[in-house]
Amino acid sequence: MAIAIMTSGGDCAGMNPAIKQFVDYCYSKNIQPYLIYDGLEGLIDNTIVKASYEDVAGIMHEGGTKIRSSRSKRFFELAYREQAYNNLQQHGIDKIVVLGGDGSFRAFNQFYKDFGINFVGIPSTIDNDIYGTDYCLGVDTALNMIRSATDAIRDTSASFKRACVIETMGRDCGYLALVTAITCGAEVCMIPELEYDLDKIAQRLKKELDNGRKYIVCVVSEGCKKNVCTSTQEIVNWLEKDLGIETRATILGHVQRGGNPTVFDRLMASEFTTFAVDYLLENEKSNSVIVYKNSQFEFVSIEYVNSGKYEIKKELLDLARRLVN
């Protein structure tokens, strides 16, 4: 029996711990593990190799993905999916663990419908925006990377009595910015999920500056650009014009995807992966996603994952409402 693992779409810390757990666990079950390099493109190009202990030795602390990733336009064409299927057949593989996001899962669902390749998807994205799961692999490490950067930027802002605007990733989801604002003590938080009033925020900040506040930390989600037409630079201009405070912007970018995986992400990687392998072994057919909901793991259909849009818990949003007006 052979089973493979691959990473698809955006990378995140936690993928390497998942890959190591996959290989070690498969060998403990007397199953031959395979590594698919370069994501969907690797499926098409047949960069599929038997995994050894050496392949995964010493990767628990490494960010990103040792087996690399990709986004593939070719995979949307049936001829290339058939080529990928034939490659898997050569290796005797009909089960795959897929670390990725909703786009990767949709691609594999079509692959399953075309050729019956069984898979379990593990939500792996720092955006934490997959419907049906409270947590995606890589989020905790990303938050810690952002926290470290925000704390450092605050230090220098305090030294010069400046405002700082820090932009996080997240696509259309403001989870990273929201949690960062709460846990780093930001004065302003701007995310797509919460309406904000710049005039009211300015009035509040002016009072706080008059009462001794020396600097301002404003955390902005990149999704604000798309949803409310407010860019990070516009926020900088607003702070300087309306409050008269010198302001610097920092767009954190891809530093959020890297870094040494946290203990929590390493543990979640091990649990996600172990349950995914067991599920594939116990079920003849699978086009499922393993999710973490209400502190429990469960398996749901692709249709369920695609049936709604992820929403941040109301309790978290309520914690930040005072920062938007």
Q: Catalytic residue at 127? A: yes
pLDDT tens for each residue of 159-191 = 999 999 999 999 999 999 999 999 999 999 999
Summary mean pLDDT of the chain? 96
- Catalytic, out of 38, 94, 127, 140: 127
Give the three-class secondary structure for 244.
coil
Kindly report the CATH number that applies to the domain delimited by 140-257: 3.40.50.460
Q: Where are the domain boundaries for CATH 3.40.50.450 in the chain?
A: 2-138+261-305
State whether the Cα torsion 25-70-116-122 is positive or negative: positive
pLDDT for 229 beyond 60 = no
How far is 255 from 142, CA to CA, in rounded Å? 8
Output the pLDDT for position 247.
97
pLDDT band at 313 (very low <50, low <70, confident <90, very high): very high
Please write the tens of the pLDDT for every residue from 84-140: 999 999 999 999 999 999 999 999 999 999 999 999 999 999 999 999 999 999 999
Give the pLDDT confidence of 37-57 residue by residue, as tens digits.
999 999 999 999 999 999 999
Question: What pLDDT was estimated at residue 142?
Answer: 98
Q: Give the residue-averaged pLDDT of 245-255.
A: 96
Helices (H), the chain: 15-28, 39-45, 53-56, 78-91, 102-115, 139-160, 175-183, 198-210, 223-228, 232-242, 263-282, 302-305, 314-320
Taking the C-alpha atoms of residue 165 and residue 154, their distance in angstroms, rounded to an integer, is 10
**In the predicted structure, residue 227 carries a pLDDT above the cut 80:** no
| 258-287 residue pLDDT tens | 999 999 999 999 999 999 999 999 999 999
| Across 227-244, average pLDDT | 86
CATH 3.40.50.300, domain 2-138+261-305, yes or no: no
Q: What is the pLDDT of residue 5?
A: 98
pLDDT score of 228 more than 60: no
How far, in Å, CA of 181 to CA of 219, rounded? 6
Within the chain, which residue ranges are assigned CATH 3.40.50.460? 140-257
* Per-residue pLDDT band at 231 (split at 50, 70, 90): confident
